[in-house]
Structure 1
C-alpha cells in the first residue's frame, strides 16, 4: 500500500528549508536575475549551512516514525520544492546541488562516490545535433591505455561554468547506436575541457548555462560511470542503454519538484495580492457561487496538488526499490506543464502587478519555462509513458 505522508523529519526539513528560502534566497532573487552571470556568493554560505545540517535520513534513505518508508528520494523532492519556492536559479547555482550530483549518486561506485560525491557536478548531454534524442549523441570516448580520450561539444550545460565536475555522455562506437553510450566524470580544469561561452537566457539567470568543448580531453580509465563494456547482442544493448537512461529516473522527479516549488510560490503570492482586493478562497463554498477569478484559483490549486502527488509517488517508488521510469516521466510531464501554466495565469490574474518587476510573479513565469524543457520535454515524457503503457520499444513507437 502506498502512503505519501511525510515523516516528522522530512516535514521539519521542508519547513526549515522553506524558511531559509524566504529569508536567505528571496532577498537576492531580483539582484541575480538582473546581474546575469554574476556568481551568487551568498549561496555558497547557504550550501555550507545545508551540508552541516543535512539529516541522517537523507543520506541513508531511512524509514519513518509512522512505518512509511519515505527516505532519501522523498527528502530530496521536498527539499527541491521548498528551495524553488524561494528561487529556482539560486537553488541551481548552489554548490553540491547540480544535476550531475543525482547521476553520481545513482550509479557511481563506492570509490567514485568517495572522490566525486561531495563535489558540484553538472550534466552534459545535449549537443548541437542531439537534444531530446539522447541516442544520437556524437561526442566520442576512445580508450587509450589507462585513459579515455573525449572529443565533442556539449551545449546548454546547467552550471557548466561554475561546477567542479561534469558528467559527460559520450559514445564508444557511433555505429552501435545507443548501446555504446556511456557517461564519464570529467573534472573542470582537465586539459582539453573548455567552457566556450555562457548563454543569455529568459529565466534562471542566477544559474549559468554553458557550452563546453572536449578536444583530446584525457581522463582516467576509472572515470567511467557504470559498465565500460559494449553489449554484444540486442538484449544486452537494450539493458545497457536502459541502465544509462535510469539516471533520468533519479533526476526527473527532482526537476518536477522544482516546478512544484515555483508553482506554489506563484500561487501564494497571487493569493496574497488578490487578498488585498478581498478575493479569497473558501473551500466550503460551492464552485457555482465563485467568481471567475476564484474559479481559476480553485482549478490551479487542484492542478498543483495533482502534480505534487505524482512527484511524491515517483519518489516513494524509488525509496521502496520499485521501478519508476513511467512514473518519473509522468510527474515530469505534468509538473513541467503545470508550473508554466500556473505561473503565467498568475501573471494574468494580477494584471499590471503581475507583469511589473515590482513583484516576483513575472520572474516566476520566466523561470518556470525551463522546468518544462530540461531533463526531457513533456512531449518526450508522454512518449516514454505511452511506450510503457503499450509495451512498445523505442523503435516501435517513435
Structure 2
C-alpha cells in the first residue's frame, strides 16, 4: 500500500477542494441558519458530479466489495476515490456534502450489494438510507419494519427515523425483515422510490448540526414494492445471518470517517491560521514547544492516524479484502478524533471560536453526528472486538 494519493485521483481531489472552497464555504453559514431550506446552489454541481462519478467511480457513492482478490497488482477504485473526495468536500461543509444530489448513503448501499440490473435502474438516482427506528438504534438486528411477500411484490410496514436526505432523495433504501420470527437473518434491504403509495415523510427533524442536510421520519403503510427491488440475495440463511446487508456498512463507515477527517482538518488548519503567524515549527524539540504547539501537534498526529486507517479500509475494499474490522476501526477513530479536534480548536481560539464570526463553532456542532450515525463509538468497538476475538454477535454482546 502506497501512502501517497494515487495520481489518477489528484484531479478529483483538486476539483472537490475547489467546490469546497468556492461553493460550500461561502454559503455554509446561510444554510446553517436556514435549516430545511434546500441549497439550490448545489443544482449547478449535479452535472459536474455526474461526470466525475462516471470518470472516477464516484465522490460519495461506494463500489461493490469484491469477494475475489485482484490477480494483478493493487487497485485504487471507487472506495478510494470516495473517501478522498469527501475529505475535501467536508473540509468545506459536511451538511452540504450530505445534500449533494445523487450522492446519498443509499447510493453506497446500492453500489455495495445491487446486481447489474438494479445498478442500471437505480445507479443514477439519489438514494437515502433508512435503518434506524424508534425502537432500533445502534442494534440494527432489532429492526421491526416488515416486508411480507405478496405475489410479485413485498408489502412494507413500519417507521424509520433520522433518514438523511429522506425528503429530497429520489429513492430510499429501507431495511426490513422478511420474517421477524427468524431474527437478523431475515433482514434485507429494499429500494423504495419516491412517490410509492404508502410511503410518507411525516416530519423533518431540527438538529444540532449538519442543518443544510434534511433529516426525515418516514412511515410505510402497506407500501407495495416489486420483488426486483430487493437488494442482494432474497434467500434467508440463518447460518450466515444478515452479513449481506451488513456489508453495506463496510462501505459506508469509511465514507463517514472521511467526512470526519475533512471537518477536523478544516478546524485544525483554521486554528493554526488564527493563532500561529508562521504555522507549526516541526524542527523544535519537545522541551521547546509551547503548550499550544504541543496540543496542535498531538491533534495533527491523531488526525493522520485516522486518515491512514480510513484509506486502508477503502483500499482493502477496492482490492477484494474483507474490511469489516478495518472499516469499524476507521469510523471509531475518525469520529472520536473529529469530535475532540473541533471542540478543542473552538476552546483554543476563545471568542473567535465561539462566535459566528468564524465557522469553528459550526464545525464543532457538525462533527458530533459523525461519531453517532453509521454506528456509535461503542458499537464500533464491539464489532472490532468480535473480529479480533473471532466471536459472533450472540457470543459477544
Query: 1:48 and 2:54 equivalent?
Result: no
SS at match of 2:393: coil
2:197 corresponding residue in structure 1: 191
Structure 2 segments unaligned to the other structure (5+ residues): 65-72
> Partners in 2 of 1:49 and 1:189 — Cα distance?
27
Task: Kindly report which structure 2 residues correspond to 1:1-398, keeping only aligned pairs within 5 A, or say none.
Answer: 2-54=1-53, 56-58=55-57, 68-231=74-237, 237-275=238-276, 278=277, 280-398=279-397
> With structure 2 as the length reference, what TM-score do the two structures score?
0.95
Please say if residues 4 and 316 of structure 1, whose CA atoms lie closer than 8 Å, have aligned partners that are also in contact.
no
Deviation at 1:240, TM superposition (A): 4.3
Cα separation, partners in 2 of 1:263 and 1:222, compared to 1, 3 Å: same
Q: How many residues align?
A: 385
Q: Structure 1 unaligned segments of length 5 or more: list them.
A: 62-66, 232-236
- How far off is 1:7 after superposition? 1.7
TM-align CA RMSD: 1.3
For 1:53 and 1:218, locate their aligned partners in 2 and report how far apart those are by CA, in whole Å: 35
Matched residue, 2:67: none
* Partners of 1:280 and 1:294 within 8 A in 2: no
Alpha-carbon displacement from aligned partner over 1:329-378 (angstroms, at most 9, x marks no partner) = 00000000001100000000000000000000000000000000000011
Distance in 2 (alpha carbons) for counterparts of 1:274 and 1:14: 27
Evaluate the alpha carbon distance shift between residue 53 and residue 227 of structure 1 in structure 2; reply closer, same or farther with a 3 A threshold: closer
Looking at structure 2, the residues matched to 242 and 82 of structure 1 have their Cα atoms a distance apart, in angstroms, of: 31
TM-score (norm 1): 0.94
Q: CA deviation at 1:13?
A: 1.3
Q: Is the 8 A contact 2:12 2:52 kept in 1?
A: no
| Greater shift in the superposed pair: 238-247 or 162-171 | 238-247
Instruction: Map Cα deviations across residues 139-162 of structure 1 (whole Å, 9 max, x no partner).
Output: 000111111100000000001010
Q: Which ranges of 4 or more aligned residues in structure 1 deviate by more than 6 Å?
A: none
